[in-house]
Amino acid sequence: MTHIAIIGAGLIGRGWAFVFARAGTEVRVWDPQPAVLDRLPDDIAGMVEQTAPFGQAGTDPEATAARIRAVTTPEEALDGAALAQESGPEVLDTKRALFARLDAIAAPETILASSSSALMASRFAGELPGRARCLVGHPVNPPHLVPVVEIAPAPFTDPAVTERARAIYAAAGQVPVVLQREIDGFILNRLQAVVLAESLRLIEQGYVDVRGLDDTIRHGLGRRWAFMGPMETINLNAPGGAGDYLTRYGAMMAGLAQGAAREEAFTPAVAAIVGAAFADVSAPETVRARQNWRDAELAALAQHLAARAQHDNAQE
Amino acid sequence: MTHIAIIGAGLIGRGWAFVFARAGTEVRVWDPQPAVLDRLPDDIAGMVEQTAPFGQAGTDPEATAARIRAVTTPEEALDGAALAQESGPEVLDTKRALFARLDAIAAPETILASSSSALMASRFAGELPGRARCLVGHPVNPPHLVPVVEIAPAPFTDPAVTERARAIYAAAGQVPVVLQREIDGFILNRLQAVVLAESLRLIEQGYVDVRGLDDTIRHGLGRRWAFMGPMETINLNAPGGAGDYLTRYGAMMAGLAQGAAREEAFTPAVAAIVGAAFADVSAPETVRARQNWRDAELAALAQHLAARAQHDNAQE
C-alpha cells in the first residue's frame, strides 16, 4: 500500500498515525501548528512505551515509530497518499475550509476521510469538486486502542471509495462499520447520547449516585458489551433467541424506553453533581494522569480480547 | 455468617448459590419443582468445571460445590438464614404469592430479597406483615460471572435491612449498587432499554445492519464500559473533566438524545430482522451452546479484570 497522510496531529491524529504504522504502512503527518509537529517524535515514543508491553505496538515497536514522519506542508503529506485522515477540530467552518484545501491539493485517487465524531460529510464536503472521494471515518479516542471505525459515506460518495476505505481500515487491523445511510452522530454517539441522557436524569432525580451509575455499567452491562453487542446479548437472553426475547420482554423494555429522558436531562444542575463526583480528577494534569490509566487498561483489554479470539478460533 | 437460602433453582438461583458458596458461606437451595433440585448437583458440577480454570470457583472449587445443599421444603431452607434470595418467575402474581409464603415462614431477622429484574418491591411485598425486611437484590445473568447487584429498597424497607443486605452481597464479592429511590427497571434495565430502543430503530430504518450495530458497541463503547462507567468516560473526554465535557459537548449529545427512539422502536418488523441475523443461533440447543461460550468469555474477563485491579492496587 502507498502511504497514509494524517492531517492534524492531536490525540486522534497521533492515534491514527500509530494504527497505520503499527500495521506496516508509512505515515506522513502534517499539522498547521509547528509546535505540535515538533513534539510528535516524543509523543509517539510515549505511545510505544505504553502499548508495547501489551503487544499493541506492532511486531517491531521501533519500526512502528520509524514509519511515522512529520512533514511541514499538506502537499508533502498528500502527495501519493492512498488515504488522508483529517483529525482537525470538530467545528463545521474549520472542517469545511480544511476539506476545501485538501480537495484542491490531493490527487483524485486519494481518499479524504474525516475523523468527525458527529458531523456528516454532506455538511462539509458537499460543495467540493472532489466530493465523491470524501467520507467520514469516525474513530474512538484513542484509535490505536479502540478498534471500531464508523465509515459514513454521504449520498455523493462513490461506493468504490467507501469500499476502498473499508479495506484500508480493515487491513490496518481496525473494525470498520459501514453506515448504509447518513445520520448525525452516526451510531456510536447516538447510543452514547441516550445512555448519557438517561444516566444524567437518574442521577439528578436522586435514584442513584454517580458512582452507583458507573458501577451498574462497569460491573454489569459493560461485562458483556466488551465482547458482544446488545443484539447478541438479547439473542442469548431467551431460549429461542432474539425473536423470543422481544416477544417475552419487548413490551417491558419498550415501557422503560418510553419513560426515558431526552435533551432535558442535560442540565447545569446535573453537570455540577457529576463534576463534584470527580472533583479529584478535574484539573488537566489529573485528568491526563487518569487518561494514561485508561489507556493502559484499554491496551491490556485489547491484549486479553485478542488472546481470547485466538483461543476461540483455535477451538473451531 | 449464618447460611443463605436460595428460593428457586433456575439459572439465576444457581448462580446465586455459587456466589455465596464460593465466598465460603453455606447455602440451602429450595425449588418447588423436585426435578430441578435433582439436577442441582450436576448443574453445580458443570459450573465448577467451567469457572475453575479462570479462578472463578473459589479457592477450593470442590468445597464450593460441597457448600450447596438442596432441601425439600422452604421451611428447611429459611430456618436460621441470614438472607433468602428469591429467584422465581418474573410474574407479579407469582412473586406476590411466593413472598407471602416466605414472609409467613421466615424468622423476622431473615432478609427477603427478590432477584426481580424490573418489578419494584412495593408491587409485591407492600401488604406483608414483614414488609420492612423485604427488598429487591437484582443480579445480572449469570450472577457468579457478572458481579453487580442492584439493591432497591421500597419506601417501607427498614434502612438497617438495606445496609445488612449490602454488606452481605459485598462480603460475597459482588458489587452492590443501592438505589436511593424506587423506580421500575431500576438502573441497569432502564439503560439497556434506551440502548435497545435506539439500536432497533437504527437497524429498522436502515442506517446500519445488525452486525454493524453490535460491532459499534463491542469494538467501541464496550471497551471502556468494561472497566469504567459512562460518567467516568465523559470525565476523561475533556481536559477539564465532566463539567468541561458537558459544556463542550452537552448540547450536541442533548440534540442526539432528543431525536432518539422510544417505545415505537420495538416493532414486529425489526424483531424479524434481528431474528434473521441470528438464524443460526435461535434454537434452544444452539442458544445454549453460545451461552456457554458467553459464560466462558465472562469468566475469562472476570479473571482479567481482577488481575488488573490487583495490579493497579499494587501500584498505588
Query: Where along chain B do its domains lie?
Result: 4-178, 192-279
Q: What is the pLDDT of residues A200-257, one digit of tens each?
A: 999 999 999 999 999 999 999 999 999 999 999 999 999 999 999 999 999 999 999 9
Asked whether the beta carbons of residue A278 and residue B232 sit closer than 8 angstroms, the reply is: yes
Q: Which helix (H) or strand (E) holds A308?
A: helix A284-315
Q: Which chain A residue shows the shortest CA-CA distance from B173?
A: A219
pLDDT of A312: 87
pLDDT of B312: 87
Give the mutation candidate from B136, B138, B177, B290 for the A interface (greatest A CB count, under 10 A). Answer: B177
B-chain residues near A208 (CB < 8 A)? 177, 179-180, 187
Q: Which CATH superfamily is domain B192-279 in?
A: N-(1-d-carboxylethyl)-l-norvaline Dehydrogenase; domain 2 (1.10.1040.10)
Please give the C-alpha separations between residue B193 and each of A115, A234, B198, in angstroms, as whole numbers. 29, 11, 9
Q: How far is A99 from chain B (nearest CA, A)?
A: 22
Instruction: Please list the alpha-helical segments (H only) found in B52-173.
Output: 61-66, 74-78, 92-105, 121-125, 159-171
Dist. CA A97–CA B205, nearest whole Å = 32
Q: pLDDT band at A316, cuts 50/70/90?
A: low
pLDDT of B313: 87
Would you tell me which residues 41-60 of chain A have a C-beta closer than 8 angstroms to some C-beta of chain B?
A: none
What is the identity of the amino acid at B227? Answer: F
B-chain residues near A180 (CB < 8 A)? 206-209
Would you tell me which residues 199-218 of chain A have a C-beta closer than 8 angstroms to some C-beta of chain B?
A: 199, 202-203, 205-210, 212-218
Q: What is the pLDDT of residues B158-181, one digit of tens each?
A: 999 999 999 999 999 999 999 999
Q: Quote ipTM for the complex.
A: 0.97
CB A163 within 8 A of CB A135: no
CB A74 within 8 A of CB A101: yes
Q: What is the pLDDT of residues B7-38, one digit of tens each?
A: 999 999 999 999 999 999 999 999 999 999 99
Contact residues for A213 (Cβ-Cβ < 8 A; gap 6+): A199, A202, A203, B187, B229, B230, B231
Tell me, yes or no, if A309 comes closer than 8 A to chain B by beta carbon.
Answer: no
Tell me, yes or no, if A191 comes closer than 8 A to chain B by beta carbon.
Answer: yes
Point out the residues of chain B with pLDDT beneath 50: none
Size of interface A-B (CB pairs under 8 A): 397
pLDDT of B1: 59
Asked whether the beta carbons of residue A229 and residue B213 sit closer than 8 angstroms, the reply is: yes
For the domain covering A187-266, report its CATH number: 1.10.1040.10
pLDDT of B134: 98
Q: pLDDT band at A315, cuts 50/70/90?
A: confident
pLDDT of A49: 97
Q: How far is B155 from chain A (nearest CA, A)?
A: 13
Q: How far is B240 from chain A (nearest CA, A)?
A: 5
- The three cell numbers locating residue A102: 485538501
Q: How far is B258 from chain A (nearest CA, A)?
A: 5
Q: Which of A15, A26, A151 is nearest to A77 (CA)?
A: A26
Q: In which order are the strands placed within the sheet that holds A111-114?
A: A68-70, A27-30, A4-7, A83-86, A111-114, A134-139, A148-153, A175-178
Q: What is the pLDDT of residues A48-79, one digit of tens each?
A: 999 999 999 999 999 999 999 999 999 999 99
Tell me, yes or no, if A183 comes closer than 8 A to chain B by beta carbon.
Answer: yes
CB A119 within 8 A of CB A40: no
Q: pLDDT band at A313, cuts 50/70/90?
A: confident
Cβ-based burial of A18 (10 A; exposed 0-12, middle 13-18, buried ≥19): buried
| Candidates B254, B283, B297; nearest CB to A266 | B254
Q: Across the strands, what pairs with B150?
A: B138, B177
Asked whether the beta carbons of residue B214 and residue A227 sit closer than 8 angstroms, the reply is: no
Q: Which CATH number fits domain B4-178: 3.40.50.300, 3.90.870.40, 3.20.20.70, 3.40.50.720?
A: 3.40.50.720
Tell me, yes or no, if B72 comes closer than 8 A to chain A by beta carbon.
Answer: no
pLDDT of B315: 80
- The CA dihedral of B39, B42, B43, B44, to the nearest 10 degrees, is 120
Would you tell me which residues 139-158 of chain A have a C-beta closer than 8 angstroms to some C-beta of chain B?
A: 140-141, 145-148, 150
Average pLDDT, chain A: 97
| Candidates B150, B208, B241; nearest CB to A282 | B241
Give the mutation candidate from B120, B183, B227 for the A interface (greatest A CB count, under 10 A). Answer: B227
Q: Which helix (H) or strand (E) holds A246?
A: helix A241-258
Cis? peptide before A284, omega within 30° of 0: no
Tell me, yes or no, if B273 comes closer than 8 A to chain A by beta carbon.
Answer: no
A-chain residues near B242 (CB < 8 A)? 271, 274-275, 277-278, 282
Give the mutation candidate from A11, A150, A187 for the B interface (greatest B CB count, under 10 A). Answer: A187
Asked whether the beta carbons of residue B188 and residue A216 sit closer than 8 angstroms, the reply is: yes
